[in-house]
Structure 1
Amino acid sequence: MSTVIVIRIPGVRLSREQCDALLHNILGENYSHVHLCHAVDAPETYIYLADFLEHPVAPAQASTTTETDSISTLAAAIAQHYPDANTNLLQQTMDLQGQAWGKTATFHYVVETDVDAAAEADFNDWYTQEHMPGLAAVPGTVRTMRLYNQDGAPRYHALYLLQTQETFGSPQWLAVRGTEWSSRVRPHFKNTKRTMFNIIR
């Protein structure tokens, strides 16, 4: 199963140069493609370490235990520079080409959430069968993806790469969000965080 590391740093917007310096200081040259983005409405940086923006991520060769130990070491190193940072290893569970596949994405919308245990099966069916395919088909959506945070919270991480911010909130987008199934599932969300990001690189 493909994996991606996400580093969340609240309270700051790291420049490309600051991001590169941080990662090089900790990892040297031993890291994959970097996706850097800044929250639109608050000073916050997300860094994704993987090649997932342009190419599928190859299945991890290391065991889960080794990966977990590596992430713990990375998280501790990041925290020395940014004590409030949160670093997690996420498992990719879904990846869809959007209507605007091949176009340049400039915005990145993320929904992170937990869900009531009793509604989890329905929640996952909704995402897989209706919600994510529907949003992928909206004009201006470049790519959609779901990731699962096995060892942290929120556990579910849905992300949408968009050509423009106007894609979010378009009539087509709102129609997908406004279905009967959506109305049934959404009240079971917990610890939900929704963030629009500018893509820096």
Structure 2
Amino acid sequence: MSTPVIDSLLLRCTPAAHETATTLAQTALALLRQDLAGLRLLRVAQQPQGTAYLYFALGSPQPLSADQTVQAERRLQNAGSAGLAACELSRLQLVMHCTGPALGEATPVHYAVEMDPESGWQDELFAWYDQEHLPGLASVAGTAQAFRYLNLDHGPLSLACYDLVDAEVMGCPAWLAVRGTDWSARVRPHFTNTRRTMFDTQALP
């Protein structure tokens, strides 16, 4: 089996009381750059007093094996940071990126939806995401960007995420209309291992 070509990395971690997600991101970036030249930090997102999602972009897409990722994850876990001691590092493949009306505005809210498709439903679920759902939500006023990735390591497999100007965007009529289509009603029951998480974003160092 060929080694997959990777665009991005996701680091899940939980900052300790004396740490910040931004500090952990800087520590992780320095360590990961030892093997991945050109790596840059894309986003620092954290639940209040909880889990942080740190997104990194590779300088250019490149093959990255599961073994290489595990080695990098262990290096992070052994860095001496309480917040990284139980971290999870995953390879992400970018499937789709859509820009929205709020591109260029401040986006203090990051919303992520993760799921594994039920057996036999992956093709239709991914078609729904790419043809209707992700572009539809990206077009809603208040959305700056929307991304869909495949998480090749810690999963769930599908990660869709949205940069928003405000959490209230998710309750507006346009957003709810996209969520309420017939196609959505047909496929959404076939999400498994679903995680829906609202994060606050932090300024990049």
Relative to the length of structure 2, the TM-score reads 0.83
- Which stretch shifts more, 25-34 or 175-184? 25-34
Q: For 2:30, give the aligned amino acid.
A: H
Q: For 1:126, give the aligned amino acid.
A: W
Establish whether residue 133 from structure 1 lines up as the match of residue 140 from structure 2: no
Conservation of the 8 A alpha-carbon contact between 2:89 and 2:154:
no
- Counterpart of 2:9? 5
- Helix, strand or coil for the counterpart of 1:105? coil
User: More strand by proportion, 1 or 2?
Assistant: 2
Q: For 2:77, give the aligned amino acid.
A: A
Conservation of the 8 A alpha-carbon contact between 2:31 and 2:75:
no
- Counterpart of 1:102? 104
Q: For 1:50, give the aligned amino acid.
A: A
Conservation of the 8 A alpha-carbon contact between 2:31 and 2:76:
no
Sequence identity (%) = 32
Conservation of the 8 A alpha-carbon contact between 2:110 and 2:199:
yes
- Counterpart of 1:76? 74
- Counterpart of 1:189? 191
Residue 117 (structure 1) shift: 1.9
User: Which runs of structure 2 are paired with 1:1-201 in the superposition (5 Å)?
Assistant: 3-10=7-14, 12=16, 14-25=20-31, 27=33, 30=37, 32-34=39-41, 35-40=43-48, 43-50=50-57, 58-60=60-62, 63-65=63-65, 68-80=66-78, 81=81, 82-200=84-202, 201=204
Residue 24 (structure 1) shift: 2.5
Conservation of the 8 A alpha-carbon contact between 1:14 and 1:45:
no
- Helix, strand or coil for the counterpart of 2:185? helix
Residue 168 (structure 1) shift: 1.7
- Helix, strand or coil for the counterpart of 2:121? helix
Q: Distance in 1 between matches of 2:53 and 2:128?
A: 26
Conservation of the 8 A alpha-carbon contact between 2:88 and 2:154:
no
- Which stretch shifts more, 135-144 or 145-154? 145-154
Q: For 2:10, give the aligned amino acid.
A: V
Q: Distance in 2 between matches of 1:23 and 1:125?
A: 34
Residue 114 (structure 1) shift: 0.3
Relative to the length of structure 1, the TM-score reads 0.84
* 1:3–1:25 Cα change, 3 Å: closer
Q: For 1:74, give the aligned amino acid.
A: A
Q: Distance in 2 between matches of 1:151 and 1:47?
A: 15
Conservation of the 8 A alpha-carbon contact between 2:9 and 2:89:
yes
- Helix, strand or coil for the counterpart of 1:118? coil
Runs of 4+ in structure 1 over 6 Å off: none
- Helix, strand or coil for the counterpart of 1:195? strand
Q: Distance in 1 between matches of 2:112 and 2:8?
A: 15
- Count how many residue pairs are aligned between Structure 1 and Structure 2: 191
Q: Distance in 2 between matches of 1:39 and 1:96?
A: 24
Q: What do you get for the CA RMSD once the two structures are aligned?
A: 2.2
